[in-house]
Amino acid sequence: MNHIRIFAFCIMDTHYHLVLENTSGRLSPFLKQVNGQYAMHFRKTSGGSGYVFQNRFHSTLIQDESYLIQAIAYVLLNPLRARTVKQPRDYVWSSARIPFNEVEKGRIPWLDAEFVENLFGSSPEFDRVLSESIDFDPPIMKTRLGPIWGGDDLNADRIGKFERRELPDPVKRKRIDDRFFEPVNKVIQEFETRHAIKVERVSTDTHSGKRLRAELLVLLKDHSGMKYSEIAELELFSDLQASSLGRLYQNAKRRMR
């Protein structure tokens, strides 16, 4: 589970939905274990024989953060479309009630509710997005790789990069720019957690503060794929020119090695 982060779930009568990030390369074994454990529980409590889950799982890649928000909302609204409940938070077999609820978060520690909170920003915004998405039609694009939840800006070059990730080549042989970059919010959140400090409280008047800023620069470029011009627009880097970030990045990389 260390390399699989679950952002949302919804269990229906005949199937279930998960929104997750998989960096393990072992999604099939993970779901096989989940389904196997549930099947054993089901047979123990309900009896019977044979398969509990009939078909292999279906998966859809998600293009970026904005589409991730859509996907989470869509999954959590399944009970409303089935007319099981009138409000998402009323359905006890989904994660709709967990974000922005400290008591519920403590009961399901394997759900990355904090990332979802950062993604939506606030409880009212979370509720607003869900309330306005009930009739939403998922923007699914069909590719040779399979379905991708994305938009028209997912060009042929980016689709090709998605497809190359499914080839059996070892990870170490893949080009660095073919990596599946992580959302900026996630990178910043993990940086803040690791150093126990909010980015806006990092002071570049101190040597330690400058080193923290340089580390974040490396993370944003390597893990989120941000360009120097984009990083220079962030408040923490506002006193620097985009043209100067390259040298700062190289120096920081050497220190981090």
Look at residue 110 and tell me whether its pLDDT is greater than 60. yes
Q: Classify residue 58 as left (phi > 0), alpha (psi -120 to 50) or beta.
A: beta
Query: β-pairing, 61-62 with 147-149?
Result: parallel
Q: What is the rounded average pLDDT of the residues 44-51?
A: 78
Q: In what order do the strands lie in the sheet with 147-149?
A: 61-62, 147-149, 140-142
Q: How far apart are CA 213 and CA 207, in angstroms?
A: 10
> Which of the pair, 29 or 126, is modelled with greater confidence?
126
Q: How far apart are CA 2 and CA 28, in angstroms?
A: 15
**Taking the domains of the chain in order of start, what are their residue ranges?**
4-131, 140-178, 184-256
> Which of the pair, 17 or 173, is modelled with greater confidence?
17
DSSP letter at 21 equals E
Q: Between the CA atoms of 224, 227, 229 and 235, what dihedral angle is there, to the nearest 10 degrees?
A: 20
- State pTM to two decimals: 0.59
Architecture category of domain 4-131 in CATH: 2-Layer Sandwich (3.30)
